Amino acid sequence: MNTTYLVNGMHCKHCVAHVREEVGNIPGVTGTQLALEDGVLTVTSDAPIDFEAIQKAVAEAGDYTVAEA
């Protein structure tokens, strides 16, 4: 299952790496893709992931915000 989100506030590849790492650590997440250019985060999982868990992980990565796409 793929779910798409929009991440705001990233400025470099370092930002992308931090967000991907934190979101990738959420139980049930099997993969992540994140484009710096448009902020589109695609989360791959076997079951739906709670949006609050995504928000928490993105906030842990830095001063970024996330919205459901």
Whichever domain contains 47, its CATH number is 3.30.70.100
Domain count, the chain: 1
* Separation of alpha carbons 27 and 69, rounded Å: 21
**Residue 15: what pLDDT?**
96
Q: What is the pLDDT of residue 20?
A: 98
> Using one digit for the tens of pLDDT, what is the confidence trace for 4-58?
999 999 999 999 999 999 999 999 999 999 999 999 999 999 999 999 999 999 9
Residues 59-69, mean pLDDT to the nearest whole number: 96
Buried b (16+ CB within 10 A) or exposed e, 46-56: eeebeeeebbe
Tokens found for residue 2: 């793929």
